[in-house]
Amino acid sequence: MFWSNLAVAANFFVEIAVELIILFIGITFLVGLIQEYVPDETVKRVLGGRHKILGSILGAGFGALTPFCSCSTIPLLLGMLNAGVPFASAMTFLFASPLLNPVIISLFIILMGWKVAALYFAVTFVAAVAIGLLLDGLGFASQVKSVAAVRSCCDCQQGTDARSRIRRSADFALSLFRQLVPYLLIGAGIGAFIHGFVPTELISRIAGPGNPLAVPIAAIIGIPIYIRAETMIPIGLALIEKGMSLGAVLALVIGGAGASIPELTLLSAIFEKRMLAAFVLTIFTIAVAAGYLANLMAL
């Protein structure tokens, strides 16, 4: 029995790991090209000085094109705020960036289908815009600390010819891959273990469709831990196969990708405690809403 389960887990690991690696490098390379031709200064100029709602939509759209990491998102957020980008636009970028980048959406499409990916994108995009505008309307802009802009490590590039841009995009993709491949492999490994060894009835009983509290519990579990969505999605796929509800998996992914202790530590340098609390509550709300909608779609 053990060796049979091990063979199933090993096969799952190889298939998922290869798929994730190829997809991650390809999508990240394309994102690098986009960033080469749409520099940060252009983004700040486009997002500033526009109607608040339109600026927020554009902020969420730009966040959806940006792979989330502390090297790029937090310094860019600081740059936006210091450059005078409206608070609502900057907040929608902050919420959208970790949850809607192309790597995550592509992984959802490949592993869970386009309907789940479309639901995830629509709920998260609308929520990011709406909550950014709500926080702005409630005066949370006063919760931003006076912090000097941090220059992104990606801003120090030279050479504008196509070859240089392609080389930098490839370097960007490989550099990000080297940083994140442990998370991808760990996620695939945990998913493989769940797939091969965790009893189906256990997962179904704790977090299956029959438990109405599975979605908020999954969101609460996801928020404090540092699990990138690229790591969590293969784990989630294995959990679904074991009987965990789709909504609970979505809540877990959104909670883990949208907020974590390391990220909150970085954001504490920018925001006062009230804004940090609002940020965590926002991620929790998005996670729970998407989770329950996913379960309704599955009925």
Tell me the per-residue pLDDT of 119-146, one tens digit each, with 9 for 90 and over.
888 888 998 899 999 999 999 988 887 6
Q: Amino acid identity of 281?
A: L
- CA nearest 125: which of 164, 96, 168, 160? 96
Q: Amino acid identity of 227?
A: I
Has residue 243 got a pLDDT over 60? yes
Burial of 131 (0-12, 13-18, 19+ CB in 10 A): buried
Has residue 44 got a pLDDT over 50? yes
* Confidence (pTM): 0.67
Binned at pLDDT 50, 70 and 90, residue 262 comes out as low
Of residues 270 and 147, which shows the higher confidence score? 270
Tell me the per-residue pLDDT of 180-228, one tens digit each, with 9 for 90 and over.
678 678 767 876 787 777 675 665 666 666 778 888 888 887 776 655 6
Helices in the chain by DSSP H: which ranges? 2-37, 40-47, 52-63, 73-82, 87-99, 102-112, 114-137, 162-197, 200-207, 214-222, 229-241, 246-258, 261-267, 273-298
